[in-house]
Amino acid sequence: MDATTLLWTAFFSFLPISELRGAIPFAIARGMDWRWAYLYSVGLNALVAPACWIFLSTFHKLFLKMGWYRSFFDGFVERARIKIHSEVERWGWLGIAVFVAIPLPVTGAWTGTLGAWVLGMGKRKTMLAVVIGVAGAGVIVTAVTVLGIRALDLFVKRV
């Protein structure tokens, strides 16, 4: 495995827009075995929760003094609160895990951690929920990627 693939996969795993939806297909397309792509991407994406929590509990307080940051963050928090509030109210930490496990835009580890923090969920429960959710999302993304490649191979062979 070349270093460039590992570096870009790590970048996509940690990037709020792509997370596992970008990292796993990229790694597999670059020749990484699907098992290694899953473990590597999920492991790195799971690190989002503690990184986000550290940011929110330390640097966030300092940045709130800046007007541009406050307006950006308030809007982001409000959108996250609207998306995740009903799930957390109904399911608690399991709601965060399910929310994170759905591999759609704005439903990953970043938003799940932020939503849990905004709604006052404890650090340990948040970390557990995000790790479980990331593992579930990784299974879904890996399965869709591998099965999609196999289906495309069968289609191309018939044509």
Find the domain containing 150 and state its range: 47-158
- What is the per-residue pLDDT across 97-111, written as a single tens digit (0 to 9) for each? 998 999 988 889 998
- What is the per-residue pLDDT across 2-56, written as a single tens digit (0 to 9) for each? 999 999 999 999 999 899 999 999 999 999 999 999 999 999 999 999 999 988 8
Is 4 a member of any domain? no
Average pLDDT of the residues of the chain: 89
Least confident of 103-112, 113-122, 132-141: 113-122
Specify the number of domains making up the chain. 1
Rounded to two decimals, the pTM is 0.82
Residues present in the chain in total: 159
pLDDT of 30 reads 96
- Looking at the chain, the whole-number percentage of residues with pLDDT higher than 70 is 96
Cα separation, 27 vs 109, in Å, equals 19
Is 20 a member of any domain? no
Is 123 a member of any domain? yes
Is 59 a member of any domain? yes
How crowded is the C-beta side of 28, counted as CA atoms within 13 Å?
23
Nearest CA to 30 out of 65, 6, 57 is that of 6
Is 97 a member of any domain? yes
* Residue 1: partners with Cβ closer than 8 Å, 6 or more residues away: 31, 32, 36
Is 3 a member of any domain? no
Is 15 a member of any domain? no
Other CB atoms within a 10 A radius of the CB of residue 54 amount to 11
Is 36 a member of any domain? no
Angstrom distances, CA of residue 154 to CA of 24, 107, 150, 151: 21, 32, 6, 5
